[in-house]
Amino acid sequence: MKILGSYKLKLEGVIVDVSIYSEEGEPVPIYNISILNISSTTQKILDKLREEFVSSISTGLLENIETTGIKDQFKQEIRGLIKKYFPGIDTETSELLVSHVIQQNVGLGNIEILLKDKNLEEIVVNNSKEPVWVYHRSFGWLKTNIFIQSESRIRHYSTTIGREVGKEITLLNPLMDAHLDTGDRVNATLAPISNKGNTITIRKFAEKPWSITDFINTKTMNYEVASLVWLAIQNELSMIIAGGTGSGKTSALNAIANFFPANQRIISIEDTRELTLPNTLHWVPMETRLANPEGKGMITMLDLVINSLRMRPDRIIMGEVRKKAEAEVLFEAMHTGHSVYATIHANNAEETITRLTNPPIDVPKAVLSSLSLILVQSRNRRTGKRRTLQVAEIDKDGSSKVLIQLDVVKDKLLKVAEAKRTMETLYLYTGMTPAEMRTDLEEKTSVLKWLVSENITDVHQIGLVMSKYYSGKLRI
């Protein structure tokens, strides 16, 4: 056994030790949790207490745990059982044990512990026979020492999550997309659709939103790319962020949104809220909604895009372009003078053009010229590193021209062509000469270097810096 890392988590008074280790014969490292401040003897007594508690309540009450008053009623019953099994226990320890029993029985069990670990990006339950898997920011995919005891318990977790947001998962509707109140995205499936058993996939919402400083600090993006993107955003050029699943498209969108000026109205449209823009901005976030069990009340991405045009936006942010109607409205918005920023699943700039101009999106290539830049994000599946792969501009004929590209071997972004159409567009609308643009890019690079040197990574603080920059009051 080789220890790769370890740290501690705290969950309502319960201290959890996390150790990550590799072991001979195991293809991936193990993510091991153990509760430090509850002894094995105490745990055995708690297991007996838990059995007594569960057998004493009805399934209906257990399923409606979040109903006002029921959780408090459960806590009172558990306190009584704890006094029975641990006579003379002090109040603080009693409350710790109450929280632990509640978490193990009426929450999501040990998944609650994983949800508290900010180092995890993904939590995956494949069935009751396999351990829970997690995707760790530093170590990639790991097996855990956590098992869900039965398929019915996995289904119960899915039902509980769905009920909180008005969704349901049944044998007739065995697929569910939902989210936790923390913003974490949840997908659930039921057997036999998933052959091996019921599944739950939780993509965790970043506690701290990604900023442009974070992108530079982690070498995801360099100063040259950040400055060019800033120049384009300041002058209201539209942009698509492309990349594969888990490449950091939404994080990149959040980071470049740091450059929006405070005196413009911004409408964002997402399936599940993931963006966190600086609180200095005039920002209206909007979310889609699925239909209720009766098939009513659905609000689609298209509904919100069309509605946003009636809200006098200066800029529109769209979580992901998937369908032709959405793309047509977005490109129409660009043609009518709105700046548009959106994400799309595509692995490089050329593939982005192909996806946009073929079914199911299928917009005419001629309209792509209203789009100025494509920013491509990628994740190296071997190393787990996320990087900006390409920055490309769109020519008048709708084709892409790569300006900056990642040298994967050197792990370095290199300029491969001069920006021509982008500079022509900027000159047309701003009158800036090439020399003035170079000076402006150098000034922006200086501001970014100052943000990094001062370790300003909070999006709201960066928003304040940007508002001072645009008003001419920034002194560094």
Query: Higher-confidence residue: 53 or 220?
Result: 220
Is residue 438 within 8 A of residue 447, CB to CB? The reply is no
Q: At what angle do helices 70-85 and 40-55 cross, to 10 degrees?
A: 130
Count of helix runs (H) and strand runs (E) in the chain: 15, 18
Q: What's the CA gap between 143 and 133, in Å, rounded?
A: 5
- Of 247, 233, 204, the residue nearest 346 (C-alpha): 247
Band of pLDDT at residue 470, cut at 50, 70 and 90: very high
Query: 182 in helix, strand or coil?
Result: coil
Whether residue 179 sits in one domain with residue 49: no
Q: Using the structure block, give the residue that is written with the tokens 């300003």.
A: 456
Whether residue 249 sits in one domain with residue 134: no
Band of pLDDT at residue 382, cut at 50, 70 and 90: confident
* Spatial strand order in the sheet of 315-318: 282-287, 265-270, 315-318, 339-345, 239-243, 373-379, 386-394, 400-407, 412-415
Query: 58 in helix, strand or coil?
Result: coil
Query: How many beta carbons lie within 10 A of that of residue 323, not counting itself?
Result: 14
Residue 368 located in a structural domain: yes
pLDDT mean over 250-255:
96
- DSSP conformation letters of 247-261: SSHHHHHHHHGGG--
Residue 271 located in a structural domain: yes
Band of pLDDT at residue 70, cut at 50, 70 and 90: low
Is residue 212 within 8 A of residue 259, CB to CB? The reply is yes
pLDDT of residue 42: 77
pLDDT of residue 4: 95
Residue 112 located in a structural domain: no
Whether residue 317 sits in one domain with residue 458: yes
We report the CATH number of the domain holding residue 20 as 3.30.450.370
Instruction: Give the chain's mean pLDDT.
Output: 90
Host domain of residue 159: 1-34+119-205
User: Considering its fold, how many domains does the chain have in total?
Assistant: 3
Residue 476 located in a structural domain: no
pLDDT digits (tens, 9 = 90+) for 54-63: 676 655 555 5
Query: 102 in helix, strand or coil?
Result: helix
pLDDT at 438 over 90: yes
Query: 169 in helix, strand or coil?
Result: coil
pLDDT at 164 over 90: no
Residue 392 located in a structural domain: yes
- Domain boundary among the residues 161, 188, 205 is at 205
- Residue 22: burial class (beta carbons within 10 Å; 0-12, 13-18, 19+): middle
Band of pLDDT at residue 67, cut at 50, 70 and 90: very low
Whether residue 416 sits in one domain with residue 370: yes
